[in-house]
Amino acid sequence: MIRSICLVSVFCIFTSNISITAQDQQDIIASEFRRQALVIDISTSVLTEEEVVIWNEFQRRLAIPGSPVGIRLVGSNVIVAVQFTPFIRREGNVLIAQGQIWIVNPGHDVSYYTSIQVIPIDFNEDIYYFPLGTSNSSIEILLSVYPYSEIAALEEANANAGNDN
C-alpha cells in the first residue's frame, strides 16, 4: 500500500512538470518562428499585348526558410503553378522558383513546361518573375521577401498609433 501511494505522488509531480514544460516549449517554438519566419508579398498580374493590366491579385504569405510557398493560376488555355522557396544563407539569400506550365494549344494538344531558377535576393527587394518567359510577359509576378519581425513591428507601431488617438 505504501508503494502505490508513493508512485501516485511521483506521477502527479511528473505530470505537473510536463504541462509547464509543454507551455515553455510552445513559447520557445513561437519565439523561434517569429525569429526565422519570412513574409513573401506576391502581386500577380495578367496583361494584354499592349501591357494593360486586366487582372491583378495581391497575397501576403508566411514562409519558413526551406519551405515552399505556392501559387496557381488557371486560365482558359493555361495553368501555371509556381513554388517559391526562400533560403537564408551566409553567402547571400536566395529564392528558388520552380514553375510548371500546361498550355492547351489550338488543336487541343497540351504542352508542358517546367523550370527551376535560383534567384539571389536581398530583403525588401522587388523581384519580377515571368512564368511564361520574358518574350511572352502576359503573366507577371512581383515578389518581395522580408523578415516577419519587420511586419510584426510595423503592425505593433500601427496598433499603438491607433491607441494614441
The predicted-structure confidence for 30-75, as pLDDT tens digits, reads as follows 666 667 789 999 999 988 888 888 889 999 999 999 999 999 999 8
Task: Give the global pTM.
Answer: 0.70
Instruction: For residue 93, tell me if it sits in a domain.
Output: yes
Q: Please indicate whether residue 163 or residue 149 has the higher confidence score (pLDDT).
A: 149
Q: What is the domain-level CATH number for residue 103?
A: 2.20.130.10
| Residue whose cell numbers read 496557381 | 72
148 pLDDT band, cuts 50/70/90, is confident
CA 107/CA 133 separation, integer angstroms = 22
User: What average pLDDT does range 118-127 have in this prediction?
Assistant: 93
Under 8 Å between Cβ of 145 and 121: yes
Instruction: For residue 163, tell me if it sits in a domain.
Output: no
Under 8 Å between Cβ of 37 and 152: no
User: What average pLDDT does range 96-110 have in this prediction?
Assistant: 90
Instruction: For residue 34, tell me if it sits in a domain.
Output: no
Instruction: Please give the share of the chain, as a percent, with pLDDT higher than 90.
Output: 41
Instruction: For residue 106, tell me if it sits in a domain.
Output: yes
Instruction: For residue 102, tell me if it sits in a domain.
Output: yes
What is residue 160's predicted lDDT score, i.e. its pLDDT? 67
Under 8 Å between Cβ of 129 and 40: no
Instruction: For residue 25, tell me if it sits in a domain.
Output: no
Please tell me the total count of domains within the chain. Answer: 1
- Does pLDDT of 5 surpass 60? no
Domain that holds residue 80: 41-153
- Does pLDDT of 4 surpass 60? no
Instruction: For residue 49, tell me if it sits in a domain.
Output: yes
User: What average pLDDT does range 116-142 have in this prediction?
Assistant: 88
Instruction: For residue 135, tell me if it sits in a domain.
Output: yes
What is residue 13's predicted lDDT score, i.e. its pLDDT? 47
